[in-house]
Chains A and B, each alone.
Chain A
Amino acid sequence: MIPGPFRYRRVRSVDEAVALLSQLGTDAKVLSGGQSLIPMMKFRLAEPSYLIDINPIPGLDFIEERDGMLRLGALVRESTLERSSLVRQRYPILHDTAEVIADPLVRNLATVGGNLAHGDPANDHPATMLALRAQVVARGPNGERVIPIDDFFVDTFVTALQPDELLTEIRIPAPPPRSGGAYLKFERKVGDYAIAAAAVFLALDEARRITQAGIGLTNLAYKPLRAVDAERALLGQQPSEELFRHAAELAAQATDPVSDLRGPADYKRAVARTMTLRALRRALERAQANA
């Protein structure tokens, strides 16, 4: 399959990218890892007139902890995230997520920034970022703005990014003591989108009460979902199997999946419940190990 014709522009700085985006508007698409965009162009589901290749921009592939935040540059590849010892030790939920995205070949090019900017509810990072209360940094002609992840996903394939803005960085709050997270995905085979997947982040106080709860769900609604009621049910409580089962049920109730080749809606809702429950248990194990 051959994509429609387009013009190709390589940029070497964020400013250059923003200037081109401002000039070209919705005619242009940003090419990052290209592992979702290029297939869409081959199917002619996307037919941009211009591709702005941001890969040559130096210094956008950082993974660093600074000022109480993990900062991921827009061009961090999934394979780099997967191999990062900082991520593995301090943010195992991110390691869980990177490891189940597509397959190892795709992960060599696919980027974390692209996974979010694509706005696909079937992508895996959105749920994790919702659970972690991440922030997305975008640069536009009027400078930089920080978008809370709750405001980022607007609709299927639609995010809060404006046509003249470039996603430059993702910020994740550093984990407090007695906290842990996990991402669990149920898929038909390696490389497939989730039938259902759940991201859970928990933090406990010294009395073992839950002080922070984040639950994000993948491919279970028209956009990435936060299970707000389930989170609320956990807050202030001491973790127990009964509490987790209740929260998982609330999370499943928040979903609105469609019946398709991956299964009927009821089945997906049931899988969502199970994935949430298992992710809660694993997040708790990690929080306890992190005391």
Chain B
Amino acid sequence: MTDPRPLLYVVLTALWMVSPALAEPPAAADSEPPAASPEQLEFFEKQVRPLLVEHCYSCHSAGADRIEGSLLLDSREAHLRGGDSGEAIVPGDPDGSLLMEALRYESYEMPPKGQLADESIAVFERWIEMGAPWPEEPAAAEAAPLETFDLAQRRDEFWVWQPITNPQPPKVQDTTWPQTDADRFVLARLEEAGLTPASDADRTALLRRVTFDLIGLPPTPEEVNAFLADERDDALERVVDRLLDSPHFGERWARHWLDLVRYAESRGHEFDNDTPNAFQYRDYVIRALNADVPYDQWVREHIAGDLLTEPRLHPEQGFNESVLGTGFWFLGEWVHSPVDIRKDEADRFDNMIDVMTKTFLGVTVACARCHDHKFDAISTADYYSLSGFLQSSDYRQVRFDSIEQNRKVAQRLAEIDTRFQAQVLDELRARDIVPPREAEPLDDPRIVVDYGKITPEQYLQDGFIFGLAPQRPGKPYLVASDARSVAGEDESGEDQSAAEETSGPVHIATVAAAVSDPAWSGLKSQTLGQVRNQSKLTKLPKSGRTLRTPTFELVDGRVDCRVAGKGHVIACVDSHRLVAGPLHGQTIVPIKADQRWVSMNLARYVGHRLHLEFVPAEDAQLSVQLVTQGMDADSRADLDRRLDARQEWYAQYARAAERFLNGGDDVHPLVGQWRDQRQQAAGQIVRESRLAPAMLDGTGEDDHILIRGNASKPGEVEPRHFLTAISGNQPMEIPRGSGRYQLAQEINDPKNPLTARVIVNRLWHHLMGRGIVPTTDDFGFLGQRPTHPLLLDHLAWRFREDGQSLKRMIKYIILSRTYQMSSQVDPVARQQDPKNLLWHHRPPQRLEGEVIRDSLLALSGRLDPKLFGPPVPIHLTSFMTGRGRPGTSGPLDGDGRRSIYISVRRNFLSPFMLTFDTPVPFSSMGRRNVSNVPAQALILLNDPLVAELAQGWAERALQTVPGDGPEATSDRVRWMYQSGFGRQPSDRELEIATAFLQQQAEASGGAGERVQSWATLAHVLVNTKEFIFLR
């Protein structure tokens, strides 16, 4: 490599000699332009300006088409003002100037086309050194004014931030038409435009529409007949009530919701690893929809279901439903072995914020990751204030069956211990066995976690096995008979005889430590529906058995933990958990018996934030005293000496106390009672539980704003708060932990105009085919404006007043006359409002892929109506290949289960569903595309599943309507029309169909061929447009 120095030296020396004036000491780094000498200005003009013009101005001048990074470099002031990343130069200090960093390719790499020659870089260096002289000149033409971001102004000027009102339903001329207040809002607009609503849909179309909309399955011929025969005024309402009560309602509407939370059961990326137990979230959504959980509760459970003091329990099985809601956060893509682990976290958080804000708030906060939102009243600070909530929260697989019961047991155990500890200490004191004064806590900055002085807020764990607080020296604890010597001190070998002497049910702690309680041994956790999971973490028995340290910043790669017992320690760096690949294996270290210190080499992660997790081996105990960073062997030996001395401080007392309590042959009666009560309480522990992805509160922390979204460029810390435009940017009052509960309250707060509008708009969208705000996930500036703003507020207001019931709002919309319009378009209306913005008719809706498949299952009689459970493996065709392919293919017909139960593997999505626009699960998709492609026709024509189910439908027709002869044939065709389309065929249709059957029969003949002819007809009916479109 050529050494640049000689050349640089020549250049600088030359400058030095030609212009003595340049040799003056650098100007002070202040913003006032120093008086530049003519020589300096000449240097600028000859050397600096040409470089700026040539290499920088296409992006960083007033004349640029688009100014990159809000940075201008066409005046001295502009250099000082800088861009998004801060000031570009510090006059007099080249090394402190961002511009130099960029030119040297140290952080930014500018110009992007390639580094400047060393001589040119030296020119800039010199220029900054001399104080960045610049001639007096008129300001550059303001050709492309920098956008200014005025959040308050944007909030005040844009509709969506304004409070929800309760508008009066407008007066209408035709007072007979409206059936609900909602109708008046629609009709008024139509009348204003001189249009009339389409006629009512006929009853067969209506029943089919309502049935598909509510349960995603076709009405049966019996249901059709019953509805047609029901002449009561409230016949439709009865149907709606019946369908809302159907368990299939939850299945149908859960699919809508799963589109919002990018639901999948695998992580995608290279090997498509499992998201274990994701289906528990899917089942939770189905149950919650069926139970009509009020929407504010739904929001609370999603954002902070793990933090509710009174979680919602399953009515029969009693498990914690609320905690399952938090699973939605973790359904995104996960990456194994990222080289830049912090950036990976930033990307994961980005997806979580994106999904959360679009789903619940209908705004695109993620657009503000790198810069203030280009159009909406959302700042970059808002984005990072939200990311603080995620930084303060963790992922876990929660034992949702057992958590509530076991929480009670844990409290009971703690109460028992506290009570008996007090009594025992009294008893000891009465015999003059008095604990020594407590030692001063250790004071060494290298100790990052000390369970001797941890605060209750920082004593964090998944589960309860480390008790509600660490063990304190001098306090008595009951120990299991076979788990006597794990607490550390006895393994030091200092005083074996004493240890033996005092063996018994009571142990006096001589050190402070988080100690796992053997009463919790034997926990069994179920992961169902596994396909592939290469994460090294999944093998560890973490659920309900993990001690989590507070989060800290790694300043030294050497981390040591003072422990005793057996298990594992995991360094969770930047919340990375898919440890499966060449990198990051060093974050998992086993703890072996008789190891006093466990060392971790985390040199790779210096400067990152992390916490440790301690997991006892199954049926072994684990005790954790301290975590240090940057301590060498000598320092640790020194620390050991200090700790041993402290231990000795208590040892004499402990021996005396234990001798008294454990006695010789029989223990103290108090101890017996203690043991009995403890055993009784421990008998109530629920040891088996299913698992589900969920959140766990971590250390409450605020995030740094990342400059231009760059994970390696942290800026100011932004306190956690909700969107500034709604509730200001004051730090949220958070008593402890992440603050997600408070966040949920803000989302639900009536002063937040977004939440209610967004959800009622989603309901309207799914029922009507288009939202009042058509862009259901973006109510912002680039989204579309509401077609009927007053109607939107009417619905939102009503929704809030009416207990936030999704089912009641759905019913309200369906019972409107607007919903019941036919799809026939009045030519005048088409002319005047071709996009149907005013709702003069109801456009036909194409069924989703899931609904098409489910209908086929229902018609063929193959539908298994079973609810819930692990996903049915996806059927793999030979076109579905690639890394992470599941080892076995699922059945072609998915065991007859509804499509929502078929497994969703990110890298192996169903081609059938993709072709019919089921979204790829990467972000919120409240509004699916509705495309029309030949591949759809090819599937319905040639896919073996479709043909097989059509045949099943034909066989059912032959069973349901037996017999031969023209009459039976006609009846059978009628039955097929009724079951398939919810209506009777016209005479002409009947004629065409029977003629076809006859032709088929003539061509083949023979009884065996009869099924075939009917199967052919069934297959044809599946391919008619009426099968996949609703009138």
Instruction: Decide whether A and B are members of one complex.
Output: no
Give the interface of B toward A (CB within 8 A). none
